[in-house]
Structures are given as C-alpha cells and as structure tokens.
Structure 1
Amino acid sequence: MNCYLSIFQAFTLLLQERFRPRYDARLQLLTYQVKMLRSRIDESKIYTTPQERAELLRLGEQLDHDISDVMLVVQPATYRGWLRQRNPNRKKRGAGRPGTAQATINLVMRMARENLGWGYSRILGELKKFGIRIGRTTIQDILKREGHYPVPDKTIGHPSGNWKQFVGSHMDTLVACDFFAKPVLTWKGWVDAYVLVFIHLGSRRVFMSPATFHPHDEWALQQARNAAMWLEDIGVRATGLIRDRDTKYSYRFDAFWKSEGIEPKKIPVRAPMANSYCENYIGKLKHECLNHFVCFSMDHLDYINREWLSYYHTQRPHQGTDIGNNVLDADFRPAETGEVKQEERLGGIISWYYREAA
C-alpha cells in the first residue's frame, strides 16, 4: 500500500512541475495586463466597493497577506488598512498622544478634593512618589475638566540686582534666619510666643528653636549654638548668615557666628524679600498648619512645630530644589504597586499619600 502511495505522490509532483511554467506564465500575463491598465489611470483614484475589498482580502489570505508584489489596484498600505479594520479586536485610538489613565485622573481628583489648599505643583510632587509621571499642565487640565479650581501656587520673587546674584551663587554655603510670632492663650490673655527659624538655602533643610515668651539676648545666643550644632550634623559648611535688622539679634549673636567662620549678612532696609527663603518657609508653616490652631501653651506650640517639621523634611515634596519635587530627608523611591493610602497628622491639618506594601 505504501508503495502505491509513494508512486502516486511522485506522479502528482511530476504533473505540478509539468504545468507550473504554464501557470506562472498565465499569472505573469494577467499581471502585465493589469499594470498596463493601471498605468493609464495613474491620475485617478480607484474606489473599491465593500464586495471588492472583501474578495481581495479573501484572495490575499491565501498568500498569508504577503501581497506587496502583486497588489496593483491599490497601495499595499491601503490593503493593510482594510486588514486592520476587519479585525474585530482592533483597538481604536484617536489622534494625538494617549490620554491619561483613568486611575491617575481619579487619584488627582482625590488629592484635590481632600486637600483644598493644594495647588498643581503640590499634587505633582505627591504623584511622583508613586512613580506617576505626568506634567503640571496635565494636572491643571484634569482639574479644569472636573470643575475644580484649587488655590493657585504662590511663588515668592527675588530682589533684583547684586543681592540676587550673591544669593544665587552661594546657595550651598548660605543660611538664613528669622523670627516669627504665634499668639498663645494664657491665664493672662493672649501673649506672643517667638520662634527662631534657620534654613539652609541649598537644601531647604530647617532648624526651629523651641518657643519662648522672652527672646532676650542669652536665649538667642543659645539658639545660635544649637543651630551651629545642627549645621554640623547635616554636613553643611556655611560661610554666610542672612538676617534682617531685628533688634533681637544682639552683638553677641553676630560675634558667635563670626567665631564659627560664618559672616552675618544684613538684608537691605525695608526689603523683606531679600530674606525670601526664610519668609517663604514661615509663610508655608503658618498657611498650611499654624493658622488652623489656637495654642494654649508653649508646649502645645512646640508640639505642633515638631510635627510640622518632621512632615516638612520626610513627607512634603519640595518644588524649588535640585532634588526635583522629592522629599528632603527620605530615601525616595517611587512606589508603583500597592493601594494608595492617606496619612494624617494634627487632626488632618497636614496629610500626605503613600502606597501600602503588598
């Protein structure tokens, strides 16, 4: 039986070889005639009917759609377009760049609704912690489409002239300081408590003193010593200290910094923006935190300041530094998996987001 089968297969192969040249010649003749006709209508477009397209696709399927050298009535790209349209699983896409994922849109809206004072850059910083990389303009567009208009981000300008150039070229070796006051309710009534703030301009790291009702010379000198130890701990070798002309800075205060190799730099008269980095930090602290509290003791105020300062260093993204919207003292690695959770401190006055570990 196998012998007869082999003889039949050999005979069939001989027939195919016998008639193949004739078949190829017929195909070439038909192809050449199509080319002749096509060359006479080059200036006109051939419009195919749905039935013709279906038939061409059926015939092309027999060639595994390898039709580049035999498709003459239309361009091969047009044929491939018909093929894509016929595929029911084809994903349609509009013009332009792909849209933002719905999960990202939902997260942007959640952050905006839960934190009414957050602006576009603030939300951008939180998203970066999750490895979500979209532009500030995209966040703005998302919120506008949803009818949500947050408080605009406020930027603090710089004084013009040589002072700006000086600060810009010495960022890593400059520290600025300033006092701020917070009313505290005591048995004598409202009394202002004072806090002394130091900020390293290059890294934006901050040291805040404990509060006091009496910011006298000895107290200010002790805070200068504490700030000097803090600079040593964070590895900053400062050469200049920017301060205003407040009378709470005594001769001993300046003499101490000079003994440390740090030259006090008084800002120009009536130019608070010359100390903009410290003013900006104090403004954030008051706007985002302290203005929401009534303090009943200095211990209460110190506790709020410590919680804020921890949040500022380890959770709050910072837009204006070389680290590019990252947190200051955390080992920042974007977390792209896990459920997004919100963490709160001080009764929800300050909050941030993180991904829960799987």
Structure 2
Amino acid sequence: MIALICFVLAVLASPFKSNIRLEAENAVLRHQLIVLRRKLKGRARLTNNDRWFFVQLYRWFPSILPVLMIIRPETLVGWHRAGFRRYWRWKSCRRGGRPQIETELRALIRQMSTENLLWGAPRIHGELLKLGFSVAQSSVAKYMVKRRGPPSQEWRTFLRNHAPDIAAMDLFVVPTIGFKLLYGFVIIRLDRRDLVWIGVTTNPAAEWVARQITEAFPWDGAPRYLIRDRDRIYGTVVTRRLRATGIRDKPIAPASPWQNCFAERLIGSIRRECLDHIIVLDEEHLRRILKNYADYYNGVRTHPSLNKDAPVSRQVQRSGVINSRAILGGLHRQYVRI
C-alpha cells in the first residue's frame, strides 16, 4: 500500500520535474538494472566504475537519492566524501620543489639531536655543514627528535662531569697465615678509576688514616669531595684533616655500602684477582703484594668503564713481536710488543 502511494505521488509530481532530472533518475534506474543482471549469486558487486557513475550523478543531481535501491544513500555520500579526500590529497602532492634528504642524513640528524640534548637546529646545522652536508636549517628542524619538556642532561653525563673532583676511600680486612688480621686502606679517584693510594696497618687508628690522606693527596691534587662510610675509625682527627686539606667530607648513609660502590668494587677486584689466590705471611708481605697489584691495576689492567683502557692510558702498539711479562708471580700477565 505504501509503495502504491509513493508511485502515485511520483506520477503526480512528474509533470513538475525538469526533463534533465527525469533523465538522470532513469539513468540511475537503468544502471541499477545492469548491476543486478551481472549478479550471479549473493549480493550485487559494484565496481569502481559503478561507484564513479553514481557519485558523479549525485554530484550533479542530488535528487537521485530517493531512486537508489541497491545501495543506501549514506553509502553513496560516503563514496563522495572519500573521493573528495583523495582528490585533494592528489592536489596537495609534492610536484617538484626541494628533494628529500637521504635516509642516512636523517638518521644522523636524529642521532645528533638525541645525543646532544642542549643543541638546537642551528647548532646541528652548523655541525652538518662542517661535515660536508648541504642541507637547509629548516630540514634539520623537521627531522630532529621532538622533546616534550625542556632539554636536560642524563645522570651519566652529570656524574661524568663531576667525577674528576670526587674520590672514595675504604678499609678491608686481610687474614694472615697465623690468623692475625691486617687492614688495607685504599683511595680511588672516580674519574679514571685510578688507585691513588693503598696502605697496610695492624692498627687502623684515626691518626693513621689522616696521615694516609695527607700522603695520598698533595696540596695541588686533592679532590673536592671524598666519599667514605660511617666507620668509627674516621673520627674527629680525620674530618679535621680533610677540612684543612680543602676536601669536603661526604659520609654515606648508615648500612648503605652501595653508596660507596667504586671503593667496594675496587676491594672486590683486589680480593678476586689477588688476595683470594695468595696466603699472606705478614704485614710486609701484604704491602709488597698490594703495591704490585696497584701498579698492575693502574698501568696494565683494562676497564670496561674506560672504553677498555687502563687508568694510566696505554698506547696502542701495532708493530713488533708480542712478548708477555709475569705479574704477581704469573697470576696475571702483561702483553707488549718489542
């Protein structure tokens, strides 16, 4: 009944329509019949040409929407919008102009902006010009890594900048062959991990520790800060000596040996690489062993934190015959070219 009413209304309104609109509606109806005749089974399959035909007729005659039967009006409108987007995407494509820079150069710009947080586009652009790259500063700014907050250094950079002014000290116990206890005392600089002082005593009093600090640091070579634990041995005499030398005393928190990690790691290396393999006879024997190990540690032993170099930097030898020299009776060896 409703379809009949719609048909009657369409017949009554047809004299008032223009011939072009009637021809457009007839074209839409005929094309829908063509699509339905192509259907073998299932729902009708529309090709891109069919979609383009319906979209163009809708563009010129929006009144064809009521005569669309095999597709929904919102589907046709969606096709039209998708075509509009593709058209303007094609219109906005780059045609000529400045060519894109190479992938390697883009990666280099990102690397520079990541490794140098305080550099901006002008600074990176200057470095690229000195490296022989011809690139605009605007392109550098385009490919830089964007940051949310203000530039800031990493903790690793902060510690490296302050390491030359920091040293650490600690005591460790060594038993002898007669089960007596000897005390070793070490001081290490954090910058190059160099063992600046090593001492041995049977009675580690505060006066002895203060004297070791004085002998370890001359007036022109004292660090700014000295890290230590809260042992009772470091009494008023030690703190007064540090203040007189111009060194600021930095005791760690109670029961927190990880805060003095550099000295603890050094003592662990001394034990693992030397004392665990030797039976100490007396104080003089321990002093000689630790002196030999200190020479090996500073001048021969390579460190991963120093890019596989020794605290006292070793020169790379590329010519000559390789020869080995025994250290600590053959416990370690040094390889050199002669």
Provide TM-score, normalisation by structure 1: 0.48
**5+ residue gaps in structure 2?**
1-154
**Higher fraction of helix:** 2
Post-superposition offset of 1:210: 2.8
Which residue does 1:238 correspond to in 2? 223
Is 1:325 the counterpart of 2:327? The answer is no
**5+ residue gaps in structure 1?**
1-162
Counterpart contact for 1:181–1:195, Cα < 8 Å: yes
Is 1:275 the counterpart of 2:260? The answer is yes
- Cα 1:165/1:315, change in 2 over 3 Å: closer
Tell me the distance in 2 between the aligned counterparts of 1:307 and 1:345. Answer: 8
Which residue does 1:195 correspond to in 2? 184
* Structure with bigger RCO (C-alpha 8 Å, 6+ apart): 1
What is the aligned counterpart of 2:271 among 268, 271, 286? 286
Q: How does 1:1-358 map to 2 (within 5 A)?
A: 167=159, 169-185=161-177, 189-229=178-218, 232=219, 236-321=221-306, 324-330=307-313, 332-355=314-337, 357=338
Q: Which amino acid aligns with 1:275?
A: N
The CA deviation string for residues 44-91 of structure 1, in whole angstroms up to 9 with x for no partner, is xxxxxxxxxxxxxxxxxxxxxxxxxxxxxxxxxxxxxxxxxxxxxxxx
- When Rg is computed on C-alpha atoms for both structures, the one with the higher figure is 2
Aligned to 1:170, the other structure's residue is in SS state helix
- Cα 1:274/1:348, change in 2 over 3 Å: same
Q: What's the RMSD between the two structures over aligned residues?
A: 2.3
Aligned to 1:286, the other structure's residue is in SS state helix
Tell me the distance in 2 between the aligned counterparts of 1:207 and 1:213. Answer: 21
Aligned to 2:317, the other structure's residue is in SS state coil
Q: Which amino acid aligns with 2:299?
A: T
Q: Which amino acid aligns with 2:281?
A: F
Tell me the distance in 2 between the aligned counterparts of 1:221 and 1:238. Answer: 15
- Cα 1:272/1:242, change in 2 over 3 Å: same
Tell me the distance in 2 between the aligned counterparts of 1:279 and 1:333. Answer: 28
The CA deviation string for residues 237-263 of structure 1, in whole angstroms up to 9 with x for no partner, is 411110001111111101111112211
Counterpart contact for 1:173–1:236, Cα < 8 Å: no
Tell me the distance in 1 between the aligned counterparts of 2:190 and 2:240. Answer: 22
Tell me the distance in 1 between the aligned counterparts of 2:157 and 2:254. Answer: 18
Post-superposition offset of 1:169: 4.7
- Cα 1:276/1:315, change in 2 over 3 Å: same
Tell me the distance in 2 between the aligned counterparts of 1:164 and 1:265. Answer: 20
The percent of aligned pairs where both chains have the same amino acid is: 28
Corresponding residue pairs, total: 185
Aligned to 2:199, the other structure's residue is in SS state coil
Aligned to 2:323, the other structure's residue is in SS state strand
Q: Which amino acid aligns with 1:195?
A: G
